[in-house]
Amino acid sequence: MNDITFISISLPQGVAIQSTSADTPAPSPSSRQPTDLELLSPTSNHDRTLAPTDGGLAAYKLLAAAFVFETLLWGFPLSFGVFQEYYSKTPEFAKSGYISVVGTVASGLGYLGAPVSMLCLQRFGRWRREMIWVGWPICILGLVAGSFASSLEALILSQGVAYGLGFLVFYYPILSMVDEYWVAKRGMAYGILCAASGFSGAFMPFLLQTLLQQYGFRTTLRAVAVALIVLTGPLIPFLKGRLPVSRNATTRKIDWMFLRLPAFWIFSSANLLQGFGYFFPGLYLPSFASSLQLSPKTGPMLLALMSISQVLGQFTFGFLSDRNNISTTFLAAVSISIAGASTLGLWYTSTHLPTLVIFSLLYGFFAAGFTALWARMTSSMTSDPAASPMVFGLLNFQKGVGNVLAGPTGGLLVAGQQEVSEPQRYRPVILFTGVCLLASFGVMCLGWLKRLTVMLEERPQASAGDHVASSLLTG
């Protein structure tokens, strides 16, 4: 799940939590705290030797297994646009305008449940492996149940709710294990995991479309379920944490002071509005391309291009966010403004394939780059190790609200255009997407202007103008 950066929340007593925030300077040699490996070394009172961090066979095996899980089990709901196009032409579901709810629920639960999942891991971390063995089969059974569905409601409950719930249960325990093995090179590890969704987007839409066209949705869902069992089941034994979890570990109290910060509400409002519009291109691009009488392969191709561009965008914005001379607010404003402008300027007016290709590349790069800034947003609001996971979880929750509401909202917008020609019926969805993104940009600008106003009031009048230009980038 490429939008998540997990922060360790369950460690044995006596282990110091080390911040990986880009805003936190590296400690000097004289003040350096001992690492978890040094604290839990063979010379300590612990009865077993820990595997090394940031390398070694165990670390790479876990990372490889997590990559496969991310590629297949998260890549599947992200490719729902192909299913939506197929379901919209299937007699059992064609009359409903809410087909997109299936996909948004499947992926949205992973966002919405982030705060709850993190709290559960903090309290019941010793049951992580059991969580994986519970959640993984729920995903599989959800697909099997969906293959027997004869109504949209049954599809929503099976391919949507069951799959999303299973993913939520097993995914965050895996990320907590990755966090234990990768400390100094955690950015690299998460960069690899982020690439997984782009990798799946390069092939999964084509594969699913071919299966749907040749065998129908029932056989396709069963085939996917079998493939997930064969390809991911044997990897579960490799999903093991590095640190022994103490049964007597105490839960650290969360400092909720971040709720009083204006920055929290500015980032949260912008994040919520961005989430409202973000998911529509992935849901409706294949159907829009089909309405233009383009090749059946065009929809999956556009999703693949968007996925690949998404990986590049997240890497770029994540890299830039680590630079102290560029502010998170500025990067967020660039991300959502260009995504919104390309939606209204390219997708809304598009009638040919080249325009859709350019839009897919621009939107994937800039819109997805916004979530790569969440870690810096979190570190700018709190430095408390117990509060940081909650802040990050709330950012995920906000985006999940937009994800889940995208389905019914899109259904309402499209359903109201039944008497309009095919390409035109998607214009309200496109307009809604662009307006949400530009509204998010407006919120960021308000926060930006507020910060500049405060800076100008605090600085002497003579020198205030000298700092305005640099403040636009570093404020």
The helix (run of H) or strand (run of E) holding residue 311 is helix 298-321
Identify the residue with better confidence: 41 or 325. Answer: 325
**Res 210 pLDDT > 60:** yes
Do 134 and 266 sit in the same domain of this protein?
Answer: no
User: Please, are residues 224 and 76 in contact by the beta-carbon 8 Å criterion?
Assistant: yes
What backbone phi and psi angles, to 5 degrees, belong to 96? -95, 140
Q: What is the 3-state secondary structure (H, E, C) of 71-132?
A: HHHHHHHHCHHHHHHHHCCCCCCCCCCCCHHHHHHHHHHHHHCHHHHHHHHHHHHHHHHHHH
Q: What is the tally of helices (H) and strands (E) in the chain?
A: 20, 0
Neighbour count for residue 354 (Cβ, 10 Å)? 8
| 25 part of a folded domain | no
Phi-psi group of 54: left, alpha or beta (phi > 0 → left; psi -120 to 50 → alpha; rest → beta): left
Clarify whether residues 55 and 137 are in a common domain: yes
Asked if residue 63 has pLDDT above 70, the reply is yes
Average pLDDT score over the chain:
78
Claim to verify: residue 219 and residue 79 sit in the same structural domain: yes
3-state DSSP: the chain helix, strand, coil percent, rounded to 5?
75, 0, 25
Whether 234 and 329 share a structural domain: no
- Give the pLDDT of residue 365: 92
Same domain, 218 and 265: no
Whole-angstrom Cα distance, residue 475 to residue 473? 6
Indicate if 340 and 466 belong to the same structural domain: yes
pLDDT tens digit sequence for 408-438 = 788 788 776 565 667 788 889 999 999 999 9
Length of the chain as a residue count: 475
pLDDT tier at 166, thresholds 50, 70, 90? very high
Mean pLDDT for the stretch of residues 159-177: 89
Cβ atoms of residues 382 and 400 within 8 Å? no
226-247 pLDDT, tens digit per residue, is: 999 999 999 888 888 777 766 5
Average pLDDT over residues 193-203: 77
Q: Strand (E) positions, 330-467?
A: none
Supply 150's token pair.
Answer: 């004869």
Question: pLDDT-derived band of residue 252, with 50, 70 and 90 as boundaries?
Answer: low
Task: Please report, to the nearest 10 degrees, the dihedral formed by the alpha carbons of residues 171, 172, 176, 182 taken in order.
Answer: 60
Neighbouring residues of 196: CB distance < 8 A, sequence distance ≥ 6 = 2, 67, 68, 70, 71, 74, 75
How wide is the angle at C-alpha 305 spanned by C-alphas 329 and 61, nearest 5°?
Answer: 80
- Statement to judge: residues 65 and 211 lie in one domain: yes
User: Does residue 219 lie within any of the structural domains?
Assistant: yes
Mean local confidence (pLDDT), 166-181: 86
Q: What pLDDT does 400 receive?
A: 83
Query: Domain holding 184: CATH number?
Result: 1.20.1250.20
437 is a domain residue: yes
What percent of the chain clears pLDDT 90, i.e. is strictly above it? 22
Residue range 114-151, pLDDT digits in tens: 888 888 877 777 788 889 999 999 999 999 999 998 88
Examine residue 409 and state whether it is found in any structural domain, yes or no. Answer: yes
Query: What pLDDT is attached to residue 1?
Result: 61
Residues of the chain with pLDDT > 70, as a percent, come to 79
The structural domain count of the chain equals 2
7 has a pLDDT exceeding 70: no
Residue 181 placed within a domain: yes
Long-range contact pairs involving 190-194 (C-beta distance under 8 Å, separation at least 24): 190/5, 191/315, 191/318, 192/63, 192/67, 193/2, 193/63, 193/66, 193/67, 193/70, 194/2, 194/311, 194/314, 194/315, 194/372
For residue 95, the tally of other CB atoms under 10 A from its CB is 8
Distance CA 372, CA 430 (A): 24
Residue 165 has pLDDT above 90, yes or no: yes
Q: Is 425 helix (H, G, I), strand (E, B) or coil?
A: helix
The answer on pLDDT for 201 being more than 70 is yes
Q: How far apart are CA 123 and CA 134, in angstroms?
A: 18
For the four alpha carbons of 12, 167, 157 and 391, in that order, the dihedral sign comes to positive
Do 234 and 271 sit in the same domain of this protein?
no
pTM above 0.85, yes or no: no
Q: Are residues 221 and 328 in the same domain?
A: no
Q: Of the residues 186, 218, 241, which one is the last residue of a structural domain?
A: 241
On whether residue 281 sits in a domain, the answer given is yes
Decide if 450 is inside a domain. Answer: yes
Model confidence at 203: pLDDT above 70: yes
Q: Say if CB 443 and CB 270 are below 8 A apart.
A: yes
Residue ranges making up the domain that contains 295? 256-475
Please tell me the predicted confidence (pLDDT) of residue 416.
62
Q: For 377-410, what is each residue's pLDDT tens digit?
A: 877 888 776 777 778 788 888 888 887 787 778 8
CA 26 centroid distance within chain? 28
Do 283 and 231 share a structural domain? no
Among 241, 269, 292, the domain-final residue is 241
pLDDT at 12: 40
- Same domain for 270 and 336, yes or no, is yes
Same domain, 346 and 373: yes
Domain boundary residue, one of 241, 276, 305 = 241
**Any residues with CB less than 8 A from the CB of 448 and at least 6 apart, and which?**
329, 330, 333, 472, 475
Rounded-to-integer distance, Cα 136 and Cα 197, Å = 18
Residue pLDDT, tens place only, 300-354: 889 888 988 888 887 788 778 777 777 888 888 999 999 999 999 999 988 899 9
Domain membership of residue 194 (yes or no) is yes
